[in-house]
Structure 1
Amino acid sequence: MKDKHLRRVKAELSEWFELPEEIMLDLPHIEILGNDRIHIENHRGIIEYTQTCVRVNTNAGVIRITGSELNVRNIGSEEIIVLGSIEAIEYQK
């Protein structure tokens, strides 16, 4: 219950100060460009990386990207870029 209250307070502060919720709530920000490029910001690292599956850890759960010829083009402390033929993106808790 304490976590829900804190999350609600952070969401209200985010709205009040017009700050992005993903920053205040430590949530991932995902941008998908077509079916061949995905940017994930605010991550906690890569859990699995193959040509058919990339799993990225976040505070909201694990983001699983499946497809073919997947390639992690860039990985930094703030952003991961995955290229390839993306077939599905899903959250796993």
Structure 2
Amino acid sequence: MKRWSRRLRQLAGGVLDLPQDVVLEVPRITMIGHLQMYIENHRGVLHFSEKELRLLLTNGQMIVSGEQLVIRAILPEEVLLEGRIGGVKFLETGPQSS
């Protein structure tokens, strides 16, 4: 059922010309060098320190690591992060579907 639902969303997104991040419920990430990151479509902040930001996603988590990280702005589904961004990692939860 989950696989069928995802295929239906992909098809509808193609027909309606919707952005893939909206259709697939994945984050949209915009980076300026390694100094600033703007993340849309997250589901909440799980952890924050000057070395790590952990966000809840629809299908897992996103971990941003770095140095001197600062959240400059935060909205219900958007985060603006600044600092020296060193890496981004995704942890997927639940059964994988294609």
TM-score computed with the length of structure 1 as normaliser: 0.93
Equivalence for 1:72: 71
Equivalence for 1:47: 46
What does the per-residue CA deviation read over 1:3-30, in whole Å, with 9 as the maximum and x for residues that have no partner?
A: 0110001001000110112212222111
More displaced, 19-28 or 66-75? 19-28
Q: How does 1:1-93 map to 2 (within 5 A)?
A: 2-93=1-92
Letter in 2 for 1:46: V
CA RMSD of aligned residues (A): 1.0
Query: How far apart are residue 60 of structure 1 and its match?
Result: 3.0
What does the per-residue CA deviation read over 1:28-56, in whole Å, with 9 as the maximum and x for residues that have no partner?
A: 11111100111110111100100001101
- State the distance in 1 between where 2:65 and 2:91 align: 13
Alpha carbons 2:9, 2:23 under 8 Å: kept: yes
Structure 2: gaps (5+ residues): 93-98
Q: Equivalent residue of 2:26, what SS?
A: coil
Q: Equivalent residue of 1:30, what SS?
A: strand
- Identical counterparts, % of pairs: 26
TM-score computed with the length of structure 2 as normaliser: 0.88
- State the distance in 2 between where 1:51 and 1:80 align: 15
Q: Equivalent residue of 2:70, what SS?
A: strand
- State the distance in 2 between where 1:63 and 1:78 align: 13
Equivalence for 2:96: none
Structure 1: gaps (5+ residues): none
Equivalence for 2:95: none
- State the distance in 2 between where 1:56 and 1:44 align: 7
Alpha carbons 2:44, 2:77 under 8 Å: kept: no
